[in-house]
């Protein structure tokens, strides 16, 4: 058996020996053997245009279809490699992709314009680019370390916040227990008025369940306990997409990965489908959207009154108005205490999934309403410092 390079092998930055599959040998393959310092380019699929400089391997390797090979005796190979990864070539590839559905042909590749300086100049260009990219790698490494530190600092702030250690407790603000009773009375009134449905009773929180101690004026509650409507998710049916001009915004878990709704790359659905979906769940300002598939456990706040619909990968948490401060709940859901509970109950292989029942039963600490607002104010004061921003 021999190894054969396929388009799927271009998923990594480098071709990895142990990930290149073996196939039965045939002498027909001899015409497609790859040698050290050949350059390979993916011609189709999600990685179309991705280029790899073939390394020195301890075994024979052969070329599969839809993988282009560059071999030259007239150019410094590293110079050609840099040219093929340049903005000019990438533009040609991207323009071609848009017109041929993620495919580039050998004809297009054969017509690439390659600048051809003298050999010694090619070597000097490669040396300078190697030097520049080495410095950029160092910068990337530092930025990665900094981002990790920032992430840990932000998590620490949120952890202190929900442990009741970020702001002082004030007796005149009441207790979480008192607030919880008011919330339950409010929900019962909404049920009587037919505005919400009565939910199945959630398990009582036992003392041995709670993750940590909280102030005496706080109370442990289930996430569903403090939501105005039953926690639910978006449509399960495959959406019918439309253009931006003719459609209605439609978002999924991919649009909340930064803990805020990213409206830049959203999809749009037909107005007929929107009318159907909006009857079931109409997201509104101050709702919290929680990713339950893919990048799970990440939440974002709906900050305005725009009309949109959501996919099944998002759950809607609607904090009961005037009793739960939306930004407080947002920070709690994005905190390590919720993330840990989510992670304990992920199901599925490959793409993780959070079940709605798990989300409903997640335990969160409940401080008095005014303290919730003071906690948020302190978080918003400290988080910019973690990111190096001026207040």
Q: For 273-328, how does the pLDDT look when each residue is reduced to its tens digit (9 = 90+)?
A: 999 999 999 999 999 999 998 788 999 999 999 999 999 999 999 999 999 999 99
CA dihedral 293→295→301→305, nearest 10 degrees, is -60
The backbone torsions φ and ψ at residue 27, rounded to the nearest 5 degrees and listed phi first, read -65, -15
pLDDT at 352 over 80: no
Write the pLDDT tens digit of every residue in 102-159.
788 899 999 999 999 999 999 999 999 999 989 988 988 888 888 888 888 988 999 9
Nearest partner of 310 among 281, 288, 333, judged by Cα: 281
Quickly state the pLDDT bin for 199 (edges 50, 70, 90): confident
Lowest average pLDDT, out of 14-23, 35-44, 86-95, goes to 14-23
Structure tokens at 228: 């105005």
335 secondary structure, DSSP code: S
Residue identified by tokens 């398990």 is 203
186 secondary structure, DSSP code: H
pTM summary value: 0.68
Structure tokens at 2: 């021999």
- What pLDDT shows up at residue 48? 85
Residue 48: other Cβ atoms inside 10 A? 21
Residue 166 Cα distances to 159, 172, 219, 378, 381, angstroms: 9, 18, 17, 7, 11
Residue 24 contacts residue 1 (beta carbons within 8 Å): yes
């Amino acid at each position: 058996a021999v190894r054969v390079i396929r388009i799927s092998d271009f998923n990594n930055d480098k071709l990895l020996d142990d990930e290149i599959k073996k196939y039965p040998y045939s002498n027909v393959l001899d015409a497609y053997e790859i040698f050290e310092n050949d350059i390979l380019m993916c011609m189709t699929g999600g990685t179309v245009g991705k280029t790899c400089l073939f390394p020195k391997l301890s075994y024979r390797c052969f070329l599969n279809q839809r993988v282009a090979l560059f071999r030259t005796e007239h150019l410094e190979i590293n110079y050609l490699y840099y040219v093929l990864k340049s903005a000019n070539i990438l533009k040609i590839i991207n323009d071609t992709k848009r017109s041929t559905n993620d495919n580039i042909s050998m004809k297009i590749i054969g017509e690439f314009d390659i600048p051809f300086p003298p050999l010694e100049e090619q070597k000097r260009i490669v040396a300078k680019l190697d030097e520049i990219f080495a410095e950029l790698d160092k910068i990337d490494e530092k930025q990665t370390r900094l981002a990790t530190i920032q992430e840990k600092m932000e998590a620490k702030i949120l952890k202190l916040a929900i442990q009741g250690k970020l702001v002082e407790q004030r007796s005149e603000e009441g207790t979480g227990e008192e607030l919880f009773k008011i919330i339950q009375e409010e929900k019962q009134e909404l049920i009587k008025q037919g505005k919400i449905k009565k939910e199945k009773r959630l398990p009582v929180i036992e003392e041995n369940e709670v993750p940590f101690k909280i102030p005496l004026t706080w109370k442990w509650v289930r996430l569903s306990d403090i939501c105005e409507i039953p926690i639910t998710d978006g449509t399960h049916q495959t959406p019918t997409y439309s253009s931006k001009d003719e459609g209605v915004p439609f978002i999924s878990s991919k649009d909340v990965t930064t803990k805020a709704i990213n409206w830049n790359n959203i999809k749009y659905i037909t107005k007929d489908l929107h009318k159907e979906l909006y009857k079931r769940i109409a997201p509104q300002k101050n709702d919290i959207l929680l990713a339950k598939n893919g990048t799970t456990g990440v939440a974002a706040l709906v900050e305005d009154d725009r009309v949109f619909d959501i996919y099944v990968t998002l759950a809607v948490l609607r904090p009961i108005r005037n009793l739960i401060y939306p930004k407080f709940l947002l920070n709690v859901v994005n905190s390590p205490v919720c993330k840990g509970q989510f992670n304990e109950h992920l199901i599925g292989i490959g793409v993780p999934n959070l079940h709605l029942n798990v989300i409903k039963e997640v335990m969160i600490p409940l401080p008095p309403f005014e303290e919730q607002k003071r906690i948020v104010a302190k978080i918003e004061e400290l988080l910019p410092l973690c990111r190096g921003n001026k207040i």
